[in-house]
Amino acid sequence: MAAITAAEQGVQQVMVLEGTPEPLQKVRISGGGRCNVTHACWDPRELTTHYPRGSRPLRGPFSHFACGDAIAWFDEHGLTLVEEPDGRMFPQQNRSEAVIQCLQKAARASGVQLRTKAMVQQLRVHPERGFVLEGRGLEPLHARSVMLATGGHPSGRKLVEALGHQVVPPVPSLFSLALQAPELTACSGIAIDDVGLDLKLGSQRFRQTGRVLITHRGLSGPATLRLSAFAARALHQSRYRGELKLDWSAGLGRQEVEQRLQQWRQDQARRTLSAAKPLEHLPRRLWQAFLTMAGVEADRRWADLPLKAERQLVELLCAQRLSIKGRGPFGEEFVTAGGVALGDVNLATMESRRCPGLYLAGELLDVDGVTGGFNFQACWSGGWLAGQAISQALTESDQTR
């Protein structure tokens, strides 16, 4: 985005250096190969719900280039984005490759040069002006301005630390949770909405409500990933151990669930517990798992349900407590919490405050969002601002020469 924007603003000899054989691999794998480009317009005052870190500082960049601007930008460059019911936006073609082709086409049209297998390993300030870049597959290269967008790769953090920047140590974010719950994980593949998650780690408490996916290791899904994002540092400090309380009642609450079970005891007296589940939204396989956890025979009639077992079922449905035993394995599209401290960057231009002429954006910064297109939006906004600022700075420099 930064390279295209700078080139479209008239900057000559814009070059992208990519350390891998193929650029935009993170775009390719994102969203399960669909690429969640951004999220439908949101109120800037609600950024704290979308960005665990960096929400307040991002108000400035988003006032210049937010989701609506990104949608318009891609549309102007030949890519139509389609909004899904939950606000996520995907390319009309419903595949990541369409986003890659759009960006590559725009880069070629604006004259951006792309060099792959060119890994920058050293970045130093030139004694006279600009920077010198050196690395694997790269002859020493002089550049008047440099934009770093290395994502969560450690190479970028090493480069900026060498230039005096403060880096907040990165920790994993947006991950699934591994649980000690064999009866629950036996229901792998079940997704259910409106599940309440309550995580307490020391004096800190984290809550989320939404869709969860039961996996063979524990829990994933949007609500779990959001929880892990906001609790990323606390979970890291606890070595991914703790207690998670789950409310499966879809907001009914303990009193309503108690009444529902008592009503079922009367209205469904002759039916078995397995055949007549009291909460319609619960998949039958999950309800049967709860019966197993409560130590109740599935073929027992509702009329014969012991009071102790009824109380145990209420507890499981409204406040099930499970032990976290670790985090799930990362896919290639995980996000890190941490990076260059935002105080080191002028977020109006994305220029480093410590090293003039150096611009930083994306996951390299201490900014991260929840799932739903928010991380990509931060990248588009930062890249666009940097491209504009680089163009203006170079133009002013040429005018004073």
The domains of the chain, with CATH numbers, are: 2-172+332-400 (3.50.50.60), 173-249+323-327 (2.40.30), 253-320 (1.10.8)
| pLDDT digits (tens), the chain, 401 positions | 999 999 999 999 999 999 999 999 999 998 889 999 999 977 777 899 999 999 999 999 999 999 999 999 999 999 999 999 999 999 999 999 999 999 999 999 999 999 999 999 999 999 988 999 999 999 999 999 999 999 989 999 999 999 999 999 999 999 999 999 999 999 999 999 999 999 999 899 999 999 999 999 999 999 999 999 999 999 999 999 999 999 999 999 999 999 999 999 999 999 999 999 999 999 999 999 999 999 999 999 999 999 999 999 999 999 999 999 999 875 544 688 999 999 999 999 999 999 999 999 999 999 999 999 999 999 999 999 999 999 999 998 877 66
pLDDT of residue 332: 41
Q: Is the Cβ–Cβ distance between 96 and 30 less than 8 Å?
A: yes
What count of Cα atoms within 13 Å lies in the side-chain half-sphere of residue 257? Answer: 22
Q: Helices (H) and strands (E) in the chain — how many of each? A: 13, 20
Q: State the Cα–Cα distance between residues 36 and 76, nearest whole angstrom.
A: 18
pTM of the entire predicted model:
0.91
Q: At residue 250, what is the residue type?
A: A
What is the full DSSP assignment across 197-245? EEEEETTEEEEEEEEEEE-SSEEESHHHHHHHHHTHHHHHHTTS-EEEE
Q: State the Cα–Cα distance between residues 393 and 2, nearest whole angstrom.
A: 14
Element spanning 336, H or E: strand 335-340
pLDDT of residue 238: 96
Cβ neighbours of residue 100 closer than 8 Å, sequence gap 6 or more? 23, 24, 27, 28
The residue count of the chain comes to 401
pLDDT of residue 236: 95
In this structure, the strands spanning 204-214 and 218-220 are antiparallel
**Residue 81 burial by Cβ neighbours in a 10 Å radius (0-12, 13-18, 19+):** buried
What is the signed CA dihedral for 135, 22, 365, 95, rounded to 10 degrees? 180
Measured between its terminal Cα atoms, the distance across the chain in Å is 28
Q: Is the Cβ–Cβ distance between 38 and 68 less than 8 Å?
A: no
pLDDT of residue 330: 57
Element spanning 157, H or E: helix 154-162
pLDDT of residue 158: 97
Q: At residue 94, what is the residue type?
A: N
Cβ neighbours of residue 352 closer than 8 Å, sequence gap 6 or more? 160, 163, 165, 344, 345, 346, 358, 359, 360
